[in-house]
Amino acid sequence: MLTQNKRLITIMLWVGLLLLIPFIGMQFSNDVNWTVSDFLVAGVLLLGAGLTIEIVMRTIKKKQTRLLLILIIAAILLLTWAELAVGVFGTPFAGS
């Protein structure tokens, strides 16, 4: 149980550290221009993916299935992030 709680704390720390990258970038460059809503959306995406992966790690015992599900979650995260960032697919989510 203690190991599982450490993983949850690690997930939350990584989300915070990843969100620090654009925050620090905003201090040094005008090219990085995130709003509060950008940080919220990014936080929800990262935390949602991390917690979903944690659920998979806790519930799926077969190693191959676990790896496949984690790769699918990561792919969905990256595709969603790309769509929101630059509108790769031209959906209404990207403002197209």
DSSP 8-state assignment for residue 42: H
Examine residue 95 and state whether it is found in any structural domain, yes or no.
no
Structure tokens at 78: 């990256």
Question: Is 96 within a domain?
Answer: no
**Residue 39 falls inside a structural domain:** yes
Average pLDDT over residues 58-77: 97
Q: pLDDT per residue over 1-53, tens digit each?
A: 567 689 889 999 999 999 999 999 999 999 989 999 999 999 999 999 999 99
DSSP three-state, residue 89? coil
User: How many domains does the chain contain in total?
Assistant: 1
41 is a domain residue = yes
Residue that wins the pLDDT comparison between 74 and 96: 74
Looking at per-residue pLDDT, the higher value among 84 and 17 belongs to 17
Longest Cα–Cα distance in the chain:
47
What is the C-alpha separation between 74 and 80, in angstroms, rounded? 10
| Lowest model confidence (mean pLDDT) among 8-22, 53-67, 82-96 | 82-96
In a domain? residue 44: yes
